[in-house]
């Protein structure tokens, strides 16, 4: 059995993340007790190679979209052995980084689908934006930066008054948590552009109910922009001198 598992591991045949982590934990344990004649350092190197191959060939399972949604402590109710060792943690951290990079690489094409969700299922769109809902697919990913601002504004207008309250509140909630500021800063330019377009629409619709509804969105955009701007750390004196 060990020979079968180790051969599959050597040949990068494990495509399921949970199973791969189980194998890594088991091999680390067997290596410690001299049963598996491969060093722990070598096991880590092989595990990373397997993960890199899955990432390169786009076979890395990222259906859950975020490492935070994946359990790195167990798989199907079975905990990983040696999960508290530095070697296992190194593999986990590498896996998390690869998942994050893989998801980011897919954001442009996912943005197209996300815009369609805004047009066809506004509540799903809103829930995917924030961390307090169960869906929260994109709460920590700058997917909005990949949506055409004009297309977004047009879609929002077509969905008024459905999004009258829910979208402004969702946007404010999206940028309320400092934990995700670094990941979402890429959306700052997008927010500014959307605000410019919304302001223009408000002027064009003066005296209409839609102008009042869009004003709620505009205020929310102003808050979001201010929050992200304040989250950007000013360059230190040393950095300024270098630049």
Q: Measuring CA to CA, which residue among 173, 216, 222 is closest to residue 195?
A: 222
How far apart, in whole angstroms, are the C-alpha atoms of residue 147 and residue 228? 18
pLDDT at residue 232, as a whole number: 84
Q: What is the pTM of this model?
A: 0.78
Partners of 74 in the β-ladder: 79
Which tens digits make up the pLDDT trace of 213-222?
A: 999 999 999 9
How far apart, in whole angstroms, are the C-alpha atoms of residue 40 and residue 17? 19
Query: What angle do the packed helices 209-231 and 188-204 form, to 10 degrees?
Result: 160
Positive or negative, the CA dihedral 224, 226, 230, 232 is: positive
For residue 69, whether the previous peptide bond is cis, meaning omega lies within 30 degrees of 0, is no
Which tens digits make up the pLDDT trace of 42-96?
A: 999 999 999 999 999 988 876 554 444 455 678 778 889 999 999 999 999 999 8
How far apart, in whole angstroms, are the C-alpha atoms of residue 227 and residue 230? 5
Q: Measuring CA to CA, which residue among 156, 154, 136 is closest to residue 69?
A: 136
Asked if 91 and 47 count as a contact pair (C-beta separation under 8 A), the reply is: yes
Which tens digits make up the pLDDT trace of 8-52?
A: 999 999 999 889 999 999 999 999 999 999 999 999 999 999 999
How many other β-carbons are positioned within 10 Å of the β-carbon of residue 56? Answer: 11
Query: Coil, strand or helix: which one is 49?
Result: helix
């Amino acid at each position: 059995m060990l020979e079968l598992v180790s051969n599959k591991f050597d040949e990068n045949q494990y495509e399921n993340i949970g199973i791969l982590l189980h194998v890594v934990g088991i091999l680390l344990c067997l290596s410690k007790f001299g049963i598996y004649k491969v060093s722990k350092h070598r096991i880590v190197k092989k595990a990373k190679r397997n993960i890199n191959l899955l990432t390169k060939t786009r076979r890395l399972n990222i259906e859950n979209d975020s490492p935070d949604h994946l359990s790195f402590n167990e798989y199907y109710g079975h905990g990983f052995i040696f999960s508290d060792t530095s070697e296992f943690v190194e593999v986990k951290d590498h896996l998390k980084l690869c998942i994050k990079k893989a998801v980011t690489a897919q954001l442009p094409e996912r943005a197209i689908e996300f815009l369609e969700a805004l047009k066809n299922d506004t509540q799903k769109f809103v829930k995917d934006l924030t961390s307090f809902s169960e869906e929260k697919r994109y709460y920590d990913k700058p997917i909005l930066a990949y949506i055409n601002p004009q297309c977004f504004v047009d879609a929002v207008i077509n969905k008024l008054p459905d999004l009258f309250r829910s979208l402004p509140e969702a946007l404010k909630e999206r940028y309320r948590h400092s934990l995700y500021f670094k990941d979402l800063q890429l959306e700052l330019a997008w927010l500014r552009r959307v605000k410019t377009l919304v302001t223009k629409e408000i002027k064009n619709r003066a005296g209409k109910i839609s102008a009042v509804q869009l004003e709620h969105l505009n205020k929310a955009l102003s808050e979001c922009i201010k929050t992200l701007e304040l989250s950007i750390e000013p360059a230190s004196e040393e950095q300024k001198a270098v630049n």
